[in-house]
Structure 1
Amino acid sequence: METDPNPMSYLKISGLTKAFGKKRVLDGLDLEVRQGECLVVFGGSGSGKTTLLRQIAGVMEPDAGSIHIGGEDVGEVGPESRGVAMAFQNFALYPHLTAFENIASPLRARRMAEAEVAARVLEVARLLKIDHVLTHLPKQLSNGQKQRTSLGRSLVHRPPVLLLDDPLRNVDAKIRFEMRLEFPKLFKAFGSTVLYVTQDYREALALGDRIGVLVDGRFQQIDSPHGIYRNPRTREVARLFGDPPINLFEVTPRVDGDALAVDIGGLPVRLDDLRPQARPELIGRACVLGVRPEDVVFSTQEQPGALPVALEAVMPINVRTVTLLKAGQGAAGAEILSSRPEDPALAGRRERLPGWATLVPGRAMFFDRATGARL
């Protein structure tokens, strides 16, 4: 077998390409995952996430490219010999087998001794907190218990590589929250290299050591959760992460004294933290200004350099309050989302309220209007 020239990467994908008819689902994909790392593959429906997992698992052949696992090219290795386990969003449990037998099935296929089978099943069931339902059939299990049973079946033989295809998609919000807390501990306990697919940005931020943002068959960015959220390389990556979503304004920065300035809603705003000599490439350029809602501070008291706005709507979200602000009038006006800690003074407010919006210094992002690339 051909060996991987980079031993630091336990799972390495190079130039992976797959097309169905005229649609290229994966377009020369490259990826390296370290041993024991959890990398979350995040993307919308049809971005190629499940196709990527199936090719790593060996149940689908790529049109081009290579896959190395543990330093070896597995292009000619069958699924059963790759050391890969995969769990699906639809649980895929055997309906006639108990939870114990479902979890034990990979071990029985390997003809493992019964004492070892029992010990391993009980170990993983205790970690997943389903040891009390091992005698139950799938129809007797809740969706959360089914999901944990499916995951237990994938983990029980301690696979070097674990592929999880949106496993929390079909469970309720409470179970999703609990499993987001538990998954990192489980992954570390078993030491598997994990590729976790999801369409939920919260899941990606909570679970990934790193996140790969897959758009149209290519990774637009692979970075830490903090890097993805705070330093997105493209407008598309910035737009995909955050609820409420990032504010995006088409602007053309200009010089205003010793600072850069832009117009939002037809009103001028000085960016006092940005000096023209520090960012000369922005001057006169068609840009998109991105500002996270938590970086917009609303006040009913006038602030120096603040943008005059009208508060249009208030929406409490858990311990935060989201406000919809309006800068300017008519069609030229701009809507701005602001997110702040829970504010009883604004809770339930329905009438318009004049105020001022200040952009937190150092948090503005600029993207090229034509390409979407970060400037």
Structure 2
Amino acid sequence: MTTLQLQNIVKRYKSQVVLDNLSLDVADGETLVLFGPSGAGKTVLLRLVAGVIEPDEGRVIIGGEDMTDVDAEHRGIGMAFQNFALFPHMSAFDNIASPLTATRSSKEAIVAGVGKVAKLLKIDHVLSHHPKALSNGQKQRTALARALVGSPPVLLLDDPLRNVDAKLRFEMRLELPRLLAAQGATVVYVTQDYKEAMALGDRIAVMAKGRIRQIGTPEDIYNAPADIEIARLFGDPTINLLDVTPKAAGAGIDVELSGVKVALPHLPASLAGRSLVIGIRPETLHFVEAGTPGAIPVEVEAETPLNEKTVTLVRVSGGREVLVSRPAGTPGPVAGTAHIAVDGATTFLFDKETGQRVAAAGQSAKTQGAAA
């Protein structure tokens, strides 16, 4: 069942189009992450779903009912913001209880509802405290509890972990999926952190300039990015991008890196001769011994240990830089000449002019654009 539907949404501010004919479905109980750079339209979209602002065109359907012209307080939506937005003169209990108070729930229902969600979020011991006496982590959990307490059919979370420390952010990435599953909420979650998007989303909608450029599972987005910009956004260290001109090789193609042919049998021979860009994830590259079939000669420039992994900067022919990532503690060269191997099946090809990923026959990136 689809809980939330956005149909051909357009939102303008004067001459600027902020949301451009955007359509989106979110299934019952699904967590959909809206991911993209600042200015993509993510928060505007959330506010539009909440009823804080109205679309210039299109419809907002919640639970099968057209809510486009329904006031925010009657949509039954929970929302948490990145700045917490707690009432400073109220205790944590009263902040959490405010949605139930607004709907004139009984005192017993309010006490039971607040107690349940506070215990779930492990803040039941600070319910009497005012926001100024709470840590950032407790403020963040209080804001989440307020959004959850009324068991809303749709929960909107606007980058709620942005203003908490790294340790709490990591912990909440682990806890939130369990919490949201226990609540049974349908969630739209906004973030600019790709790791957060990958950890929390059942699906991810990548936004830019008021449109959805790609939508799919975290695996879809990472393993089949629709274009170069999306490929760059997902991954740390960032994807390697090198200009290539493929040549036909039987039913497939191959490309040349530092004078060594790399076979791409999963892509059609019709791509031969085109100006393309090959994308290679750093973790799919491996150091190998000289003489290994397909070994590509490189010059090692620098090595950077990054806790769980080590990233090595190397240069291939023509001075082009390539990043190689390997698990921490794995041996590898630190200087001089070395060799790397590329598994052609794990690479991507992009059109050099449009930036769009070139898909194999019968394969396509899951994209959703102006009239999805």
Q: TM-score range by the shorter chain?
A: over 0.9
Using the TM superposition, give the Cα deviation of residue 234 of structure 1 relative to its aligned residue in structure 2, in angstroms: 1.5
User: 2:98 matched to 1:105?
Assistant: yes
The alpha-carbon distance between structure 1 residues 142 and 17, as it changes in their structure 2 partners (threshold 3 A), is: same
Which amino acid letter does the alignment assign opposite residue 325 of structure 2? S
Within the candidate set 134, 137, 160, 1:141 is matched to 134
Alignment of 1:360 with 2:343, yes or no, is yes
Q: Does 1:175 align with 2:168?
A: yes
Residue 159 (str. 1) matches residue 152 (str. 2) = yes
2:326 corresponding residue in structure 1: 340
1:310 and 1:326 in contact (8 A); partners too: yes
Secondary structure (helix, strand or coil) at the match of 2:261 reads strand
Q: 1:56 aligns with which of 49, 57, 74?
A: 49
TM-superposed deviation, 1:256: 5.8
2:219 corresponds to which residue? 226
The question of whether the paired residues in 1 share the 8 Å contact of 2:255 and 2:263 is answered with no
SS of 1:371's equivalent in the other structure is coil
- Give the distance between the partners of 1:286 and 1:238, measured in 2 at CA: 18
Correspondences of 1:116-135 after superposition (within 5 Å):
116-135=109-128
Q: CA deviation at 1:300?
A: 5.2
- 1:172-321 counterparts in 2 under 5 A? 172-255=165-248, 260-264=253-257, 267-274=258-265, 279-299=268-288, 301-321=290-310
TM-score (normalizing by structure 1): 0.92
**Separation in 1 of the partners of 2:214 and 2:244?**
25
3-state SS, counterpart of residue 174 of structure 1: helix
- RMSD (CA atoms): 1.6
Give how far 1:355 is off.
Answer: 0.5
Does structure 2 retain, via aligned residues, the 8 Å contact 1:89–1:166?
A: yes
What residue identity is the alignment partner of 2:284? D
User: Which of 15, 24, 33 matches 1:22?
Assistant: 15
| Matched residue, 1:3 | none
Whether contact under 8 Å (1:17, 1:25) holds in the other structure is yes
In structure 2, C-alpha distance between the alignment counterparts of 1:257 and 1:343, rounded to whole Å: 40
In the alignment, the residues of structure 1 paired with residue 95 and residue 127 of structure 2 have an alpha-carbon distance, to the nearest angstrom, of 9
- Greater shift, 119-128 or 247-256, is seen at 247-256
Gaps of 5+ in 1: 1-7
Distance 1:274 1:268, change over 3 A: farther
Give 1:325's aligned residue: 314
How big is the shift at 1:48? 0.2
> Aligned partners of 1:163, 1:30: CA distance in 2, in Å?
17
- SS where residue 21 of structure 2 aligns? strand
Cα deviation, 1:300-359, whole Å, max 9, x if unaligned, reads 54422111001111111122111111112xxx3211111111136459x5xx22111111
The answer for the alignment partner of 2:353 in structure 1 is 370
Aligned length: 358
Distance in 2 (alpha carbons) for counterparts of 1:163 and 1:259: 46
Instruction: For 1:235 and 1:116, locate their aligned partners in 2 and report how far apart those are by CA, in whole Å.
Output: 52
| One-letter amino acid matched to 2:316 | A
Distance apart, 1:259 and its partner CA: 6.5
Q: What whole-Å deviation, never above 9, does each CA across 1:70-112 have from its counterpart, x for those lacking one?
A: 0111112110111111110000011111111111111111111
Question: Alpha-carbon deviation of 1:362?
Answer: 0.8
Contact kept, 8 Å, 1:166 with 1:196, in 2: the verdict is yes
Normalising by the residue count of structure 2, what TM-score does the alignment of the two structures yield? 0.93
**Matches of 1:47 and 1:273 in 2, distance apart?**
34
- Aligned residues of 1:261 and 1:269 also touching (Cα < 8 A): no
Q: Does structure 2 conserve the Cα–Cα contact (< 8 Å) formed by 1:314 and 1:346?
A: no
Whether the 8 Å contact between 1:261 and 1:268 is mirrored in structure 2 is: no
Q: Which amino acid aligns with 1:270?
A: K
Task: Give the structure, 1 or 2, with the largest relative contact order (CA under 8 Å, sep 6 or more).
Answer: 2
> Structure 2: how far apart are the matches of 1:111 and 1:102?
15
Give the letter for the 1:365 counterpart.
F
Report the 3-state secondary structure (helix = DSSP H, G, I; strand = E; otherwise coil) of the residue aligned with 1:50: helix
| Whole-angstrom CA distance in 1 between matches of 2:11 and 2:223 | 32
Contact 1:302 1:355 in 2 (8 A): no
Q: Which runs of 5+ in 2 are unaligned?
A: 359-372
Q: Please give the alpha-carbon distance, in whole angstroms, between the structure 1 residues aligned to 2:187 and 2:21.
A: 21
Name the amino acid aligned to 1:324: L
Cα gap change, 1:83 to 1:336, in 2 (>3 Å): same
SS in 2 for 1:272: strand
